[in-house]
Amino acid sequence: MREIKPREANEKARKVWNSNATFWNKHMGEGNDFVNHLVWPATERLLDLKANEEILDIACGNGFSSRKLSRIGAKVTAFDFSEVMIEAAMSVKSDENKRIDYRVMDATDPSALLDLGTHRYDAAICCMALFDMADIEPLFRSLLRLLKKDGRFVFSLIHPCFNNDRMVQIAEMEDREGEISTRYGVKVWGYMTPTTSQGVGIPGQPEVQLYFHRPLQLVLQPLFRIGFVLDGFEERAFPPEYDGGTFPLSWSGKYSEIPPVLVARVRPK
Ligand SMILES: C[S@@+](CC[C@H](N)C(=O)[O-])C[C@H]1O[C@@H](n2cnc3c(N)ncnc32)[C@H](O)[C@@H]1O
């Protein structure tokens, strides 16, 4: 993709998310297989929610994660920069959804973020969205102010080492002295350089979306510099028995040794 400035990329990403929001909401519902097998179990463990805690759900999409948290008693503020996503989130008719404070807000806009309050939240989550953001440092800096001193921030990512724009999923078959076997893996030829690329999150979505690949050090070093420490980390792969996926080489249990997702927790130092 041609070089694109963060402001321009952010606006382009917002337009694409608005175009894809209705399709995304229909397919995501209250959580797809990536969420149910990979993202949410680790998020719940690392979040370790206590009764009546106040939680910020960053880039909440159609709000399924906000509803899960609200259902178990959290007081949730949830935001996304796509107004169509927020409309979809708010349209769900349930008691737990009525209790959520949904907002249209941009995670790259620190002044909007800081209007939410100072040292207000027990925890924040950002599920599978940092790689959709053109710039992540304004959010990290704001989080240090938004979270209580003993707060925590749990985020999930498509694993930048194994699941990025410079990899392919492969299957290899070999005949070793009459013994035929098939191996499933990934071939990666790029990781260190941050990139902006286009791709599909859910096959069939109306428009390709932007992905902002960052090697792990470019996610963690800003957090460390700003004043967070990493204190929880899980790499998530499908269990061997899971045979889902739209295409023969879709992520599934065939790749149970390769994690397409990671979930991490950081805390203010
Ligand atoms: C892959 S979806 C994930 C949504 C939801 N967290 C989930 O797990 O289904 C990424 C979301 O990030 C939102 N997003 C991307 N950049 C954003 C930004 N700068 N501010 C707020 N939301 C943003 C998109 O609108 C989209 O809803």
Task: Examine residue 80 and state whether it is found in any structural domain, yes or no.
Answer: yes
Q: How far is the CA of 254 from the centre of ligand 1 (A)?
A: 28
Measure Cα distances from 172 to 84, 166, 167, 186 in Å.
Answer: 42, 19, 15, 10
64 within domain boundaries? yes
Q: At what angle do helices 64-71 and 40-47 cross, to 10 degrees?
A: 50
- Domain count for the chain, please give it: 1
Q: What is the pLDDT of residue 116?
A: 98
Residue 246 is predicted with a pLDDT of 79
Radius of gyration over alpha carbons of the chain, in Å? 19
At residue 2, the pLDDT reads 66
Which pLDDT score, from 0 to 100, does residue 51 have? 87
State pLDDT tens for residues 113-128: 999 999 999 999 999 9
24 touches ligand 1 (CB under 6 Å) = no
Instruction: Using most ligand atoms within 8 A of CB, pick from 26, 80, 143, 209 the residue to mutate for ligand 1.
Output: 80
| 191 is a domain residue | no
Instruction: Quote the tokens at residue 251.
Output: 């992520």
The answer to the question of residue 166 being in a domain is no
CA 61 – ligand 1 centroid, Å? 5
In a domain, 227, yes or no: yes
Q: Is residue 167 part of a domain?
A: no
142 in contact with ligand 1, CB cutoff 6 A:
no
Residue 117, phi-psi category: left (phi > 0), alpha (psi -120 to 50), beta (remainder): left
Residue 52's pLDDT is what? 94
The low-confidence residues of the chain, meaning pLDDT below 70, are 2
In a domain, 77, yes or no: yes
Range of the domain at 144: 6-159+215-240+259-268
- CATH number at 139 reads 3.40.50.150
Inside any domain, residue 196? no
Q: What is the pTM of this model?
A: 0.96
| pLDDT in the model for residue 245 | 74
